């Protein structure tokens, strides 16, 4: 008692710290090689493990000494049996690997689904975390508005983050993409390389896991890949601002977010996404040349020399859009409805082409020929988003070149 009263302050400090450490240990899951483990369990296990290890080593040592002597008597016969079993297992493994590859191919063919934004809810930003350690926002919409955890949060410029928690009918928490604990599956539009967009402690955004021997250029646009099962494919994340070689095998790719994450006042929460099977009924066989022609620029046909007639020039030379039109016409396969539909199949965010101000932009918009900008898919999905900021303009992105180049079979 005397000791307690003499060191009262220190005892209270130790008690309060211990209580918080215990609270921390109960909440935190520490990442281990086998997955997340609660910190309290991690500490308990690591505290006891050395003693257990000593007991095990002693037991193993005694048992091993005796066992080695006994085992030596039968080791040759067992060795032959094991070799035979290993050979058989290698054969089995090779067969199973082939089966597995085949299953994946079939799965990809049969269960390929496209994601579409169905409804969105506009929300007002009412607060932040107030610290630089965590990049969070609080929204004035909650469970009564259909907000749920892991729903994507976007702005007219690009992706902002995802719902981290819903704390009531009219409040929810958003984890921004520049928070150090966030991660978004991303695809580089031109090179089609895939990585994970993460935040840093300084609030910057980086693209991770791009191998050092790949070529990434500043200015290249990033869109969501859809691999994280949170964000639909094709939402604009940002553009590459700086690329340098990292210390490990990967590139350091800094990203400038498309949305101004420091000045968000209104956002859209995607409250439901629809998945639909790709419409492949009327497509018929897709040739490799059709797919290739979507990625490779067409070679312009050699134009016959224009007759020199009193300053009269060919219309193609005098109109700004003409060279583009000529290029598209010279590559008819790239602009057929069939090949455009094949692009729809592989890059399913074409609803994004509804508006130039929409955060959702199709990667196909950046292809040399914008032939896939106006397709039946876009028209049927035009206006699905409830966002007032994404008005439906199905034909807005149809360039004259694309429409001129359309050559129905």
Partner 1 sequence: MRTERLSYTSREQVDVYRFSWPVSVGLPFLMVLQAFLPVRLPFLRVFDFGLLLTIFFAVSRRSQVSGLLTGAAIGLLQDGLTNTPFGVFGIAKTLVGYGASSIGIKIDVENPGSRFLLTFMFYALHLAVVLTTERWLMGQHVHFNLGHEAGAAVVNSVMAVFLFAGLSRFKIRD
Residues forming the site for partner 1 (CB under 8 A): 8-9, 12-13, 16-17, 20-21, 23-25, 27-28, 30-31, 39, 125-134, 136-138, 164, 173, 175, 179-181, 200-202, 262-265
Please choose, from the candidates 135, 145, 240, the residue with its C-alpha nearest in 3D space to the C-alpha of residue 195.
240
Nearer to partner 1, 10 or 306 (CB): 10
Backbone angles phi and psi of 248, in degrees to 5: -95, -150
Nearer to partner 1, 130 or 282 (CB): 130
CB of 181 to partner 1, least distance (A): 7
Nearer to partner 1, 208 or 330 (CB): 208
Whole-number Å distance between alpha carbons of 222 and 194: 9
CB of 239 to partner 1, least distance (A): 21
86, two tokens: 């290993």
366, two tokens: 């950046």
End-to-end CA distance of the chain: 95
Nearer to partner 1, 195 or 394 (CB): 195
Nearer to partner 1, 128 or 329 (CB): 128
77, containing H or E segment = helix 75-110
153, two tokens: 């949060």
Give the Å distances, CA to CA, from 281 to 102, 104, 274, 354: 23, 22, 20, 25
Whole-number Å distance between alpha carbons of 91 and 87: 7
Which residue reads 């419409």 in tokens? 279
User: What is the 3-state secondary structure of 115-126?
Assistant: EEEEEEEEEEEE
CB of 134 to partner 1, least distance (A): 4
Q: Do residues 115 and 275 touch, judged by C-beta distance below 8 A?
A: yes
Whole-number Å distance between alpha carbons of 263 and 257: 12
Q: Do residues 186 and 225 touch, judged by C-beta distance below 8 A?
A: yes
- Give the total residue count for the chain: 409
CB of 8 to partner 1, least distance (A): 7
Nearer to partner 1, 56 or 201 (CB): 201
CB of 182 to partner 1, least distance (A): 10
Torsion of CA 94, 100, 101, 105, to 10 degrees: 160
Nearer to partner 1, 195 or 234 (CB): 195
Q: Do residues 298 and 407 touch, judged by C-beta distance below 8 A?
A: no
User: How far is C-alpha 5 from the chain's CA centre?
Assistant: 58
Nearer to partner 1, 2 or 131 (CB): 131
Whole-number Å distance between alpha carbons of 261 and 177: 8
CB of 115 to partner 1, least distance (A): 26
CB of 30 to partner 1, least distance (A): 5
Nearer to partner 1, 178 or 271 (CB): 178
Nearer to partner 1, 85 or 265 (CB): 265
Pairing of strands 221-224, 236-245: antiparallel
268, containing H or E segment = strand 266-276
């Amino acid at each position: 008692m005397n000791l307690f009263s003499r060191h009262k302050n220190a005892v209270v400090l130790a008690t309060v710290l211990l209580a918080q450490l215990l609270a921390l240990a109960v909440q935190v899951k520490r990442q281990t090689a086998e997955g997340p483990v609660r910190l309290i369990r991690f500490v308990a296990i690591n505290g006891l493990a050395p003693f257990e290890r000593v007991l095990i080593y002693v037991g193993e040592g005694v048992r091993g000494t005796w066992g080695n002597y006994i085992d030596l008597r039968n080791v040759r016969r067992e060795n032959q049996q094991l070799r035979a079993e290993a050979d058989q297992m290698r054969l089995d493994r090779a067969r199973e690997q082939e089966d597995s590859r085949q299953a994946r191919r079939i799965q990809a063919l049969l269960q390929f689904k496209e994601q579409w934004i169905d409804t969105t809810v506009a929300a007002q930003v009412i607060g932040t975390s107030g610290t630089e350690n965590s990049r969070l926002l609080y929204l004035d919409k909650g469970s009564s508005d259909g907000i749920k955890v892991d729903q994507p949060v976007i702005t007219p410029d690009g992706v902002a983050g995802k719902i981290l928690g819903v704390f009531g009918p009219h409040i929810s928490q958003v984890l921004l993409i520049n928070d150090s604990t966030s991660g978004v599956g991303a695809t580089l539009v031109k090179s089609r390389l895939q990585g994970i967009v993460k935040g840093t402690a300084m609030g910057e955004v980086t693209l991770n896991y791009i191998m050092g021997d790949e070529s990434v250029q500043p200015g290249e646009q990033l869109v969501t890949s859809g691999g994280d099962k949170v964000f639909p494919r094709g939402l604009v994340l940002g553009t590459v601002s700086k690329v340098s070689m990292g210390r490990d095998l990967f590139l350091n790719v800094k990203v400038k977010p498309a949305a101004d994450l420091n000045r968000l006042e209104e956002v859209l929460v995607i409250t439901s996404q629809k998945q639909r099977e790709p419409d492949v009924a009327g497509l018929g066989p897709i040739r490799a040349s059709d797919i290739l022609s979507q990625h490779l620029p067409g070679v312009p046909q050699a134009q016959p020399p224009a007759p020199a007639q009193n300053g009269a020039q060919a219309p193609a030379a005098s109109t700004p859009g003409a060279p583009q039109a000529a290029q598209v016409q010279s590559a008819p396969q790239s602009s057929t409805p069939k090949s455009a539909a094949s692009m729809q199949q592989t890059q399913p965010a074409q609803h994004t082409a509804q508006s130039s101000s929409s955060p959702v932009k199709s990667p196909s918009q950046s292809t040399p020929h914008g032939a896939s900008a106006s397709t039946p898919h876009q028209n049927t999905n035009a206006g699905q988003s409830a966002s007032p900021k994404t008005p439906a303009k199905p034909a807005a992105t149809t360039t004259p070149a694309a429409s001129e180049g359309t050559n129905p079979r």
